[in-house]
Amino acid sequence: MDIDWAALGSVFGVSLVVTVALVGFFTLGIVGLSKASSGAQGGGSGVAAKAGGYLCFALCAAAVAYGIYIIVA
């Protein structure tokens, strides 16, 4: 039995980067929506924060859907 250490390291590296990015986008989505709800009286900045939060959540959903697609296909 021979282990391809380069491939294993590559999978580990990509998994680590994607996981950190996904958690980061989810965190930014939560921050954006909390800023939008706390600054609801402000007007334009609340709308931009809400749109940014929803965009971050959409990126998270797209990454999860792509991962499921890769597993199923």
pLDDT score recorded for residue 39? 65
Cα dist from 9 to 13, 18, 53, whole Å: 6, 14, 33
pLDDT score recorded for residue 42? 58
- Distance, in Å, from the CA atom of 37 to the CA atom of 53, rounded to the nearest integer, reads 11
pLDDT score recorded for residue 38? 77
pLDDT score recorded for residue 58? 97
pLDDT in tens, 4-52: 999 999 999 999 999 999 999 999 999 999 988 876 665 668 888 999 9
What is this structure's pTM? 0.80
